[in-house]
Amino acid sequence: MPVIRRTLTTLSEFGNTSKICKVSFSQSNRRLSNSLFDIHPNVSAALSARKPVVALESTIITHGMPYPHNLRTAQLIESIVREHNAIPATIAVLDGQIHVGLTEEQLQRLSSSSGQSVKISRRDLSPVLSQGGTGGTTVSGTMIIAQKVGIPVFVTGGIGGVHRGAETSMDISADLTELGRTPITVVSAGVKSILDIGKTLEYLETEGVTVATFGETKDFPAFFTSKSGHMAQYNVATPAEAGDLIVKHLSLGLQSGILIAVPIPDSEAGVGEDIEKAVQQALVEARRNGIMGKEVTPYILQRVYELTEGKSLDANIALIKNNAKVGSQIACEVAKLTQDKETSYQKSRCHTVNTRSKPPFGQTESHARPVVVGASIVDFMASIMQKDILYHGGTNPGSLKQTYGGVARNLTDCLSRLGTLPIFISAVGEDSNAENLLNYCRHMDTSYIQKLANQQTATYCVVLDSAGECLLGIGDTDITMAITPQLVGKFEKEISSAPLVCMDGNIPMDTIDYICDLCNHYGVPVWFEPTCVKKGQKPFLSGASKSITYISPNISELRNICSVLDENISTSTDQSGHTIEEVIALCQMVLQHVYCVLVTLGKDGVLVCRNSHKDKPSSSTESS
């Protein structure tokens, strides 16, 4: 699929101005995607725009935690990365192809594949790919892939190390040798105390790996405790210091990595000490029971889980969450410094940057057309005439009416009748419902609607009683899940030149994220129509809301959106039971994320709230 086309100067080249080699990242991405790699559109767009991306491993999903804890943790970690203004890129192998960034369905599949997934390190990548296998990438496997696609920061829980007794067993994790030959920064909670931490640090020194603690001291953490009794050579006190370290390291063209060890949060320190006691007890029991080699680690982890009554799992999740926050902050600093350095370099070489000036909303370029993305639905309305409704097979006299809807289709219909000629990106099946809908929409440009084989056009049926009140609704809208980032990405050129992009809440969350990221890059305002109380929450669950300009909920949808921002907010669906004071208070919460909120209040009209100086009037477009 098309990706953002920009030219990237590699970080290492900033250190050698005598020979400047530029590579087209979009071409590199496309080449990888067409062979062994499948790069998620959100990740591809972020990398091309030099936005912060955080690599995440997947063995924690396939081998690190039981289901459903693994799925929830993976979703939570990705959410934390987004909250801190970075793009998550969970890396895994599915059916013989490397995936950089996973969809919700792929996360679900991977998390429930216990016993069927391979643990993929450097040695395993080629065999698993050649055999069409599926598995989770370890620290070393993830580092290799992240480096190949240009992601400099990788977050994990803890790295492997030198095992106790390695002087005879030679049991040393491949993570350490990978750190010695792959220029990736790994953010972790240090090394588990079941390993020989002293020998691990010695081995990293031999491999030329820069080891730094995050915080005010050089005390090297031991996963569940903030101090292992060993000291790191360096420390970075802030994300900015860490970012500067990484950029300078990459600028030198060194082929070794960096390990940044983040101590356990103070809130978990007490629990961590209890877990450490259980670790030591489990080590003694392992020796007493003659457990050796590869059997030691799984035995100890299971025994610690039993001894702590599950607290070790909770602490593990807390550690990874903290690492994700710190790693995302560091990734943001790396991206900022990289962009600043590239800009400085371009100015020094008297290069002109080809920028595109966006017209204000409402002042469109002659060729620019608004874009609408979302559902096309064939609606059926059944109205029952009599008050006494017959159930259990009884026939009720009434009327049946067919109409055409879908929030995005309705928006496109209105915009078309206003003469703006919008581009409508949607999906229908190859069936009679699609033909009827397209025939009805002849006044619209339907050339961007994708007709998908073996899919049914979305339909919705609502049943009304004799008073016109809704009894129930039945929807078959699975096809809206086919409006993927890949499908929308075909029309990147149209989106980049649009004066406005509208999308409805029917489309998948990762498509919403992709559209918001793309529009943010090109400076295109986004209008989000929530569609319903649950779907309206999507941008606020993923962090995409920060790229939304306009949102138009009703009062029920507004309450549900705010319940994501503050769990104490009521999610009442009562459309009439509101006050203007309540609506304004809710809007103020949402305005921390978007520029303008338009709340439809039924018979009470529409309330418009926006972020602006009190003396600045609304634009003519908003006023109208």
The catalytic site residues sit at 57, 192
Instruction: Tokens for 181, please give them.
Output: 């030959």
The string of DSSP letters for 521-549 reads: HHT--EEEE--STTGGGHHHHHTGGGG--
State how beta strands 258-261 and 87-94 pair.
unpaired
Q: What are phi and psi of 610, to 5 degrees?
A: -145, 160
**Cα–Cα distance, 150 to 294 (Å, whole number):** 33
**Burial bucket for residue 281 (CB in 10 Å: 0-12, 13-18, 19+):** middle
- Residue 186 burial (CB count, 10 A): 29
DSSP state of 64: I
Phi-psi region of 362 (alpha: psi -120 to 50; beta: other; left: phi over 0): left
Q: 257 by DSSP, 3-state: which?
A: coil
325-329: Cβ within 8 A, 24+ apart: 325/80, 325/84, 326/187, 326/214, 326/239, 326/260, 326/262, 327/54, 327/81, 327/153, 327/154, 327/155, 327/187, 328/52, 328/54, 328/80, 328/81, 328/83, 328/84, 328/85, 328/86, 328/155, 329/84, 329/239
DSSP state of 272: H
For tokens 């295109």, the residue is 524
Cα–Cα separations (whole angstroms), residue 213 to 57, 174, 197, 198, 239: 21, 21, 14, 15, 12
Contact 306, 218 (CB under 8 A): no
Cα–Cα separations (whole angstroms), residue 375 to 151, 274, 459, 479, 534: 34, 53, 10, 9, 16
Question: Omega before 68 cis (within 30°)?
Answer: yes
| CA nearest neighbour of 356 among 256, 498, 251, 561 | 498
**Cα–Cα distance, 484 to 43 (Å, whole number):** 14
For tokens 């049926």, the residue is 461
Cα–Cα separations (whole angstroms), residue 489 to 68, 86, 219, 542: 32, 20, 47, 19
**Cα–Cα distance, 480 to 507 (Å, whole number):** 6
Q: What are phi and psi of 388, to 5 degrees?
A: -85, 110
**Cα–Cα distance, 32 to 455 (Å, whole number):** 30
| CA nearest neighbour of 193 among 256, 275, 134, 120 | 275
Give the burial string for 226-240 (b: 16+ CB within 10 Å, else e). Answer: bebebebeebbeebe
Contact 353, 346 (CB under 8 A): yes
**Cα–Cα distance, 164 to 154 (Å, whole number):** 26
**Cα–Cα distance, 242 to 212 (Å, whole number):** 9
Rg (CA), the chain: 27
Strand-pair partners of 8: 23
